[in-house]
Structure 1
Amino acid sequence: MPPRKKALPRPLPEGWIVTDAEKRQWRLGKMIGQGGFGLIYLASPGTGKHDEDEAEFVIKVEYKENGPLFSELKFYQRAAKPADIQKWMQVKRLRFLGIPKYCGHGIVEFDELSYRFMVIERLGKDLQHIFEKQGKMFKNQVVLNLGLKMLHVLEYIHENEYIHGDIKAANILLGFKDSNKLYLADYGLSYRYSPNQIHKKYEERPKKGHNGTIEYTSIDAHKGVAPSRRSDLEILGYCMLHWMCGKLPWEQYLNKPELVLEAKTKLMEKLPESVTQISPHGAKCGEIAKILSLVKKLGYDERPNYHMLQKILLDGLKETQKDFNDFLDFSPVSEVEAHGYCLYNQHATTIKSVRRDIRTTQPVEKCLNESKTSLTRSRMVQNKVKEDLDAKWEEAKENENSLEKHKKYKKKNKTEENHFNKITQNLTKELKPRTTQLLTKKKYAEDECNKLTGSDRQYEDEYLIQQANDDQIEFSWRKWCLLLVFLIILIVIVTLY
């Protein structure tokens, strides 16, 4: 009888040989863990036995009918090709991008059951294990560095049309042989938010609400909305807040998802004050508040400004005098050392001296009073620095907005200028032959006009001569007529007399 779809698979025997789709053989070692629906084994290439302590690969196994491993496999095949990752690192000038290396997959039959398996590189401890071991609190610079590394991974997978959907400490693992490398693993809940470059529509589905790890899942997920890029960034913000403060405001409501949604909504509505209020004494959560504020303003299908988000964390690291590529120091520290007073050099000496005095013969009450005074001054300095940083941040946003407007205006003017020049060139090309033609016609018309003018003058001279002749003839006729009349009158007179 086939297993239920969401049941954990029956364990495969150690030493079992499986063959992937590329006809490569892999030997299963001991089982080292299990996820929600699958098992994880150490693995080595070939059929020979190898030292499991040095095994560089693992095999994830699920029943063939299950979905998470199939989704994870599709993510690696579509969005995590080694050549694409290497090209991205070169473009972004990154030394490392924390996506595990995919090595192969296949289907195997055992005990009349079908299993799907996937081979990836072996990773080390997960961040959740370290977080709990260190008292559920990380140093300020460690949290900023973790957030920055995860932002680089999210930018890459988002640009490849995928959402991780389940960011948490348990899914962030150290490298097997290099503990300074961090990987975002477990893409079983990965989701294509924009297949064929068409973003999924915003649609609330209450029956599918509250999916994911309830501590960190996004407000959209609580409402049953399909995950988006802003969902991943919101989840990362909650993770960083937990790593920095050691707690979240909704921890006591985890068995009541509606109250968790209400608490998250309240936190996002009252930023940045809501973050600073829940942070422990001295915790520097300004960067987390800024990131969540930017996420809050994002539209459902809007592309985040990854550069601005990364710059916030980089600026925070510079204040701690740490670099993005520095070694991650997970050593246990006190709350004060983790969050801050020692970041202000002018007060670090005072705090150390007070601690030294407490260990010596000075009265405890005096030492405590001096310690309180020092802490009060530190808070005043911290508030001043925070105000200055907020002012610089607002100024930077205004400058960036002005620069963007200038670029758009300049680009628009350039486009219009190019369009005008193109029209002018086209008109010049069209007018040139027409001008030549018109000049030719004009010359022809002038010649014709000159010809006509010469003919008119000739006709006018002939007319004047003819008119003169006619006038002379008319005058001669009149003269003879008058002479004749005079003769007749003379004859009559002579006759009468």
Structure 2
Amino acid sequence: MIFDLLGPSLEDLFNFCSRKFSLKTVLMLADQLIDRLSYIHSKDVIHRDVKPHNFLMGVGKLGNQIYVTDLGLSTESRDVQAEEVDDLADAQHGDFDDPSDVPVEDVDIPARKPNLIGTAYYASIKGHLGVVQHFCDDLESLGYMLIYFIRGSLPWKGLKATSKNEVAEMVLERKRTISTRELCQELPQEFASYFDYLRSLPPNAKPDYSFLRKSFRDLFTREGFEYDNVYDWTILKYLIANR
């Protein structure tokens, strides 16, 4: 397989920027990321592992363009419509030979039927439960990612347990019990509205991507930002080069 040479991942750039992005950078990222997922979903594909490591920036003239990578866990929507999980508990429990304290960010959900293996830190609630995922699940993971970028962490960071499975269960419980208002506390209303919209949709419904992009774009305009593709790392690299 031949793949374009790409630049750093969003996680790399997040670390480069001292693990905090400005609201302007997050909103410009959100605009592109929703568009990328919209395109993938238009092909009846669900990514199922949306996280900062799987989005890379381009290089050269395409340095401001985001690329989606690692489709190894993706599946076609039409192939999963009829899938059901016989025992949800099976999707939440797995055996590990060497239990130890495991950072939440490194935890993968144990594979069961259907074959859902996502990173616990960003996985949707359905991803945790082992039930069939749909388009909204990718967007739910994206929402967690945006909050992570603007805050530097998520409410379930730092949980300690004796196994990967136990950590995943603790993260799931936090995601199921936290309200959108608490999750998006002190952030602009548009972030809570993003999650409220996704949760209001009926099962298997296709989201209105234009509506979600417009919501964030309206916030961008209201804040007086200029859509100039000048991200936080752009400014930081310039400052470092001109010391």
Which of the five TM-score ranges fits, normalised by the shorter chain?
Answer: 0.7 to 0.9
* Count of residue correspondences: 205
1:406 corresponds in structure 2 to: none
CA distance in 1 between counterparts of 2:32 and 2:127 reads 24
Which residue does the alignment assign to 2:40? 157
Instruction: Between the two structures, name the one with larger relative contact order (CA 8 Å, sep ≥ 6).
Output: 2
> Partner residue of 2:112?
none
Counterpart of 1:228 in structure 2 is 134
The answer to whether the 8 A contact 1:214-1:257 is kept is yes
- For residues 202 and 140 of structure 1, do their structure 2 counterparts lie closer, same or farther at Cα, with a shift above 3 Å needed? farther
CA distance in 1, matches of 2:45, 2:227: 25
Partner of 2:214: 311
Distance 2:195 2:73 in 1: 23
CA change 1:317–1:202 in 2 (3 A) is farther
**Counterpart for residue 8 of structure 2:** 125
2:229 matched residue in structure 1: 326
- Pick from 163, 174, 188: which aligns with 1:263? 174
Q: 1-side partners of 2:134 and 2:36: how far apart?
A: 15
Deviations 1:73-128 (A, max 9, x none): xxxxxxxxxxxxxxxxxxxxxxxxxxxxxxxxxxxxxxxxxxxxx11111011111
What is the Cα deviation at residue 241 of structure 1?
Answer: 0.5
**Corresponding residue for residue 59 of structure 2:** 176
Aligned to 2:106: none
Residue 272 (1) aligns with residue 157 (2): no
Once the two structures are TM-superposed, the CA of residue 324 in structure 1 deviates from its matched residue by 4.6
- Taking a change above 3 Å as real, the CA distance of residues 271 and 324 of structure 1, as seen in their structure-2 partners, is same
Residue 291 of structure 1 pairs with residue 167 of structure 2: no
3-state SS of paired residue (2:57): strand
User: How far does residue 253 in structure 1 lie from its aligned partner after superposition?
Assistant: 2.1
SS at match of 1:119: coil
Q: CA deviation at 1:325?
A: 5.5
Seen in structure 2, the aligned counterparts of structure 1 residues 171 and 274 have a Cα distance that, compared at 3 Å, is: closer
Task: Report the secondary structure of 1:249's partner residue.
Answer: coil
User: Would the alpha carbon gap of residues 151 and 200 (structure 1) be closer, same or farther in structure 2, given more than 3 Å must change?
Assistant: farther
Matches within 5 A, 1:62-211: 118-177=1-60, 178-195=62-79, 199-201=81-83, 203=85, 205-209=88-92, 210=109, 211=117
Report the CA distance between 1:206 and its aligned residue: 3.1
Mark the structure with the bigger radius of gyration: 1
More strand by share: 1
5+ residue gaps, structure 1: 1-117, 333-497
> In the aligned structure 2, how far is the partner of 1:324 from the partner of 1:162?
29
Q: Describe how 1:44-63 pairs up with structure 2 within 5 A.
A: none
Which ranges in structure 2 are unaligned for 5 or more consecutive residues? 93-108, 110-116, 237-243
What TM-score, normalized to structure 2? 0.78
Q: Summarize deviations over 1:161-182 as a string: whole Å, max 9, x none.
A: 0011111111111112132111
- In the TM superposition, what whole-angstrom CA distance separates every residue of 1:340-363 from its partner, at most 9, and x where no partner exists? xxxxxxxxxxxxxxxxxxxxxxxx
Q: Secondary structure at the match of 1:148?
A: helix
Contact 2:21 2:232 in 1 (8 A): no
1:327 and 1:168 mapped to 2: Cα distance? 22
Secondary structure of the residue aligned to 2:118 is coil
SS in 1 for 2:67: strand
Alignment partner, residue 107 of structure 1 = none
Specify which structure has the higher proportion of helix: 1
Correspondent of 2:153 among 247, 253, 257: 247
- Structure 1 residue 294: Cα displacement: 0.9
Matched, 1:301 2:212: no
Q: In structure 2, the residue corresponding to 1:326 is in which secondary structure?
A: coil
* Aligned mates of 2:208, 2:7 — CA distance in 1: 32
Structure 1 CA distance, aligned partners of 2:143 and 2:13? 19
Instruction: Give 1:199's aligned amino acid.
Output: Q
In structure 1, C-alpha distance between the alignment counterparts of 2:127 and 2:26, rounded to whole Å: 24
SS in structure 2 of the partner of residue 166 of structure 1:
coil
